[in-house]
Structure 1
Amino acid sequence: MVKKQLIMEKSLELFAEQGFEATSVQQITERCGISKGAFYLSFKSKDELIIALIDQFMMQSVSDIDYIVRNTKDDQLLYEFYFAIYQSFHKHSDFAKVLMKEFSQTLNKELFSKMQYYDQLIEKNILLMIERLYGNSVKHTKYDLIYTIKGFMNTYAHLFVFYNVPVDLQLLAESLAEKTNLLARHATIPFVSAELIKMIQPIDEEVSKEQLIDLIGQKMEEIEEPIEKESLILLRQQLVEPSLSPAIVNGLLENIRNNPDCKWISYLLRRYAF
């Protein structure tokens, strides 16, 4: 196992047991069986490690949500959206628990800003889903619906993040899809307006083509899987000098999408207009 990944996995165990603040670098190195020097070769500080863990978790979540919203048929979209959300919470319940707890209490500006950034990306996907499903019929209530859906996501996640009760994910997804449809079709009194959204949302930092090319280059050096590596090479070439058909580009994106190390790049590339 790569040392950086070992540190992330073992520190995650400790953070889930004790929280961010109560866990020291010394405890992390002891759990990993490495020296402090080896730790600082991978991460400059514990805060940098925490941000890396948040990036790993949220990048995969945002990438999965984006793919579902853009590729699922309308009649299954809400169900697949909710199912994917709660399946991710369930799979990573230890980290989700500590993240939700720490974020509600944090005074760390970098952590807060990071979570705001990912929250904004999720909101954009939810808005895209709402506009696809309901069109002009929710013109005045669509921003309220965003916060309704986010409320469902957060509230029901507590069932298995904090209470550790068995949850039927299929039934939960079906139930929330039904509730969302009812609200979308019958709610008439909006509270959250487009103007309010603009006031509370931070500025979206788009990744430039040059940054994306550099990011792909870094990832090409890190991964060893031949299919994903070759796909990244071709996608990088496509950014520099477009020559491939949309069908081939989509196939290359599929090649990298399910690799956890490439999910974020596949997400950024889907957002980028070739």
Structure 2
Amino acid sequence: MSDKKILIIEKASELFAKNGFDATSVQEITDACGISKGSFYLSFKSKESLLFSIFEYFSSKLIERIGSIYQMEIGPRERFEQFFVIQFEEIARYSDFILMQMREQTNPINEDMLGLMNDMRRKTYEAQESLLLNLYGEDIKEHMTDLVVILGGIVKGYIEIIVFNKGSLDYMGLAHYIVERIDSIVNGLSKPFLTTELLAGNGMCLGNQSVTTEELLNEIKLVKKEIADEDLLISLEVIEQELSITNYRKPVISGMLSNFKNNEQTEQLVRKLKKFLN
């Protein structure tokens, strides 16, 4: 995304939050950005398309920040706490804009918007699943669907407080408190109640066939930027080459995956690749 588009998005989101979507004109947005109307329409077809881009920009920032957790040199518990802190911080940062959306209901619920929302939910779920497994081990895998739903309910309640009260909460303290509550829930797990298929039906997780080669190739490019180990880079390049051809060879990709054992930087990518292969 160009610097000009980002400028327009950030200025427009401030104006929408302050004055409302309908009450904010394109002229006011261009004045705040110091650009002409012509320059605006070169970037966005309309004010409605700008609104969609604002959601796209905010969600990409959230997912990018969540992705950065895996580069932090901290333990599994601290990493899981950061997962919540980042969500609370991003919600607080755009709470006025969120309130405007709820008040005016300007959200254009169309196929593109639903796709964007489902993609963000799915990526957040994947990160949460990975963090839960890192902290509590593979034994909780069969309970993952229930854990995601329970956590969603807990987090939603605190998000509402952040949005409506605009109070300054101790996000680190809150994250620590939530993870302690999850400890209690995990310790009390017995027989799973929900199935993965039910969660997938809500757009919150991937079925085995839902990962696309395009998505994997994009993620490989991102992971390569963070990897310094030459052997791992070579393995990533081999996988990348295989996925770039129509008749990719599953045994070759599976063989390369064994090289990433116990590597936290590639854990989420490896999980997706395994789903893709299965």
Same fold (TM over 0.5): yes
- Residue 113 of structure 2 corresponds to 111
- What are structure 2's unaligned runs of at least 5 residues? 237-264, 274-278
Q: Label 1:45 to 1:171 Cα distance change in 2 as closer, same or farther (>3 A).
A: same
How far is the alpha carbon of 1:125 from its aligned partner?
Answer: 1.0
Query: Residue 208 of structure 1 aligns to a residue in which SS?
Result: helix
Q: Label 1:30 to 1:154 Cα distance change in 2 as closer, same or farther (>3 A).
A: same
How far is the alpha carbon of 1:211 from its aligned partner?
Answer: 7.3
Give the TM-score normalised by structure 1.
Answer: 0.68
Give the TM-score normalised by structure 2.
Answer: 0.67
How far is the alpha carbon of 1:123 from its aligned partner?
Answer: 0.7
Contact 2:66–2:127 (CA<8 Å) still a contact in 1?
Answer: yes
- Residue 35 of structure 1 corresponds to 36
Amino acid at match of 1:113: G
- Residue 62 of structure 1 corresponds to 63
Q: Label 1:212 to 1:176 Cα distance change in 2 as closer, same or farther (>3 A).
A: closer
How far is the alpha carbon of 1:82 from its aligned partner?
Answer: 1.6
Q: Label 1:76 to 1:113 Cα distance change in 2 as closer, same or farther (>3 A).
A: same
Q: Does 1:163 align with 2:144?
A: no
Amino acid at match of 2:93: K
Indicate the percent of aligned positions where both proteins have the same amino acid: 28
Matches within 5 A, 1:81-100: 81-98=83-100
- Residue 44 of structure 1 corresponds to 45
Tell me the distance in 1 between the aligned counterparts of 2:155 and 2:101: 15
Query: Residue 133 of structure 1 aligns to a residue in which SS?
Result: helix
Matches within 5 A, 1:254-269: none
How far is the alpha carbon of 1:188 from its aligned partner?
Answer: 3.1
Q: Label 1:46 to 1:106 Cα distance change in 2 as closer, same or farther (>3 A).
A: closer
1:147-177 deviation line (CA, Å, top 9, x unaligned) = 2222233221222221111211222111111
Amino acid at match of 1:77: R
- What are structure 1's unaligned runs of at least 5 residues? 217-230, 251-266
Q: Does 1:152 align with 2:163?
A: no
Q: Label 1:199 to 1:147 Cα distance change in 2 as closer, same or farther (>3 A).
A: same
Amino acid at match of 1:51: F
How far is the alpha carbon of 1:56 from its aligned partner?
Answer: 2.0
**Paired residues, what number?**
233
How far is the alpha carbon of 1:129 from its aligned partner?
Answer: 1.5
Amino acid at match of 2:65: D
